[in-house]
Structure 1
């Protein structure tokens, strides 16, 4: 009997230790996945991306440390990414075949399944804030185009001239892709200011090896997932889409369940990759469903969908995820993904390449 009592006591202590180890908050960031290899990044470019991931993760973490909500942390972090021309979101967005920047974004609150998204906005500086406004200040889930920008103005969200989003490297990438497709090159946006080509960036179309790497193998979509001290999770995603996209193409980023999903019953997920495949598989929702209904761990669920289901469909990309218990995960079937994670009591971890933990 005494041995049983000792075993029970040890088990109880172990459970207590596990409970204590659960972080009060956690946050994961991605800046896109794709053919990202060490040979393609100069030391300066590598450093620039790591510093950006560090800055964004710490910004979100600061919100959570102060007792802010997961939604607040997600929005604050993504706003930084939307202002950073390193990434294909906001000011670093790629161009459509018509020479426009059309921005997509979405956000979801895991505590009540409220969600908001926008597609094809052209004058709202921070699409992630607009997506949140759609969720909280409108009866709708998704708005698009001019209507979305008009709604942004009613909410006093900052508006900018479309030329604000112009970057020289993205325009050069557009010209290369249009030439490859045999399509006409449009006039530059009115007010666009050509910049230096020596930006410390890794182009979506291949950086220093731009002419050798397929444009479709780069994804600069950004996303953040968070768990706050109240136990709630949230997810957000923002993107400029794909270079030279046509006919009003919309990818998975603004599609709730495909590029973004969050539920306190399972997890929060943000995705990056070839959007058409993520839409077909409803990647974000599928990962959450495996956690909720099949009892898979967060990492196992992410790997199941990305490494098996997505790969079998010949899709490529990756996800980040966080669970209500503070577990964090990422999974991608490409050679790299810009990523970072940080949690209460755990150090910041930043990675780019496949061989990094």
Structure 2
């Protein structure tokens, strides 16, 4: 009931604004995700579910406040992801999963669809908001990606907030990491006996990479993604999230994409860029291109996950091949406002 009233009031305010100003209402679109994974209906703790949905709504509010005031899609996606990085409900920023060494290594990327400028950081351990470091790489360096200590030093020189690595730790992730370590230990024993095993992603242990895509009133697109990576990861493993074209992509000619899921497979399929290429070269709709990549190509290789996307015309896609994906969207145009947050395939 509360959500229904929110939607009605948003619709009313948009139309009142149009009547008062006499100007057509510009279209703005914001789509966000908090990760795809093995989230079976009824098995997620009700408090945790409510906290995650509340965080998604706060992120939508933040992004819309920027877009509604004429701000850029780039500003909106950065600030949305910062909200989600600061919330322990997700595997990004505070709340990131633990590595095999019991630490946190964070990745993030951002892309401007108007200019194709992009920035990313990988394997950072002391930057409170990696997405802002990624934007700094894009705008204040000649590079696209910086990693590890070099990225941290660059962020420090840019005046970005630094924290102790323990800042990212939350107890739920610690418990999950300890369970993952036990499973990985058992899997190693099975491997030594000659039995095939795959425990890299255990059911119920895929916490949410976060991301946002937006279309602003000037018709510009942007995308951003941030993650703590894979639980119990070793050897400085990097997934798709900081890789432009794999986990993040934006081009005003086609769409803005942010991915979440089993990164190794997203990298092999270059999923974010592939969606845009199918649209531009194959003349497929956003919905069709995204669905083929997520529900056909990805499972065919053995991977799973999802993505969020908005195209240059304001169309939205949010496909996922897992039981659930934390997600939400907000779209405003001349017909009014649409807004929703969800987890399951409702």
Asked if TM exceeds 0.5, the reply is yes
2:331 to 332, 338, 343: 343
Q: Is it true that 1:247 corresponds to 2:250 in the alignment?
A: no
User: Any conservation in 1 of the 2:48–2:89 contact (CA below 8 Å)?
Assistant: no
Q: Is it true that 1:42 corresponds to 2:45 in the alignment?
A: yes
Q: Which moved more, 1:305-314 or 1:36-45?
A: 36-45
Q: Is it true that 1:290 corresponds to 2:293 in the alignment?
A: no
In the alignment, which residue of structure 2 is the partner of 1:177? 180
Aligned-pair CA distance for 1:311: 1.5
CA distance in 2, matches of 1:84, 1:41: 18
1:267 to 255, 272, 286: 255
User: Any conservation in 1 of the 2:105–2:125 contact (CA below 8 Å)?
Assistant: yes
In the alignment, which residue of structure 2 is the partner of 1:76? 79
CA distance in 1, matches of 2:313, 2:25: 6
Q: Is it true that 1:220 corresponds to 2:208 in the alignment?
A: yes
CA distance in 1, matches of 2:53, 2:138: 32
CA distance in 2, matches of 1:314, 1:216: 17
What is the TM-score with the length of structure 2 in the denominator? 0.86
Deviations 1:32-81 (A, max 9, x none): 00111222123333322221111111111111000000010000100010
CA distance in 2, matches of 1:127, 1:29: 17
C-alpha spacing 1:285/1:22, structure 2 compared with 1 (3 Å): farther
List structure 1 segments (4+ residues) > 4 angstroms apart after TM superposition. 20-23
Q: Is it true that 1:161 corresponds to 2:164 in the alignment?
A: yes
User: Any conservation in 2 of the 1:109–1:234 contact (CA below 8 Å)?
Assistant: yes
CA distance in 1, matches of 2:323, 2:24: 32
Matches within 5 A, 1:187-226: 214-215=202-203, 218-226=206-214
In the alignment, which residue of structure 1 is the partner of 2:15? none
Q: Which moved more, 1:150-159 or 1:53-62?
A: 53-62
2:118 to 107, 115, 135: 115
User: Any conservation in 2 of the 1:22–1:325 contact (CA below 8 Å)?
Assistant: no
C-alpha spacing 1:217/1:163, structure 2 compared with 1 (3 Å): closer
Q: Which moved more, 1:134-143 or 1:299-308?
A: 299-308
In the alignment, which residue of structure 2 is the partner of 1:327? 315
Aligned-pair CA distance for 1:219: 4.0
Q: Is it true that 1:151 corresponds to 2:139 in the alignment?
A: no
Cα RMSD between the aligned structures? 1.7
Q: Is it true that 1:277 corresponds to 2:265 in the alignment?
A: yes
CA distance in 2, matches of 1:91, 1:46: 17
The gaps in structure 1 that reach 5 residues or longer are 1-19, 184-212
- SS where residue 92 of structure 1 aligns? coil
Higher-Rg member (1/2):
1
CA distance in 1, matches of 2:71, 2:51: 28
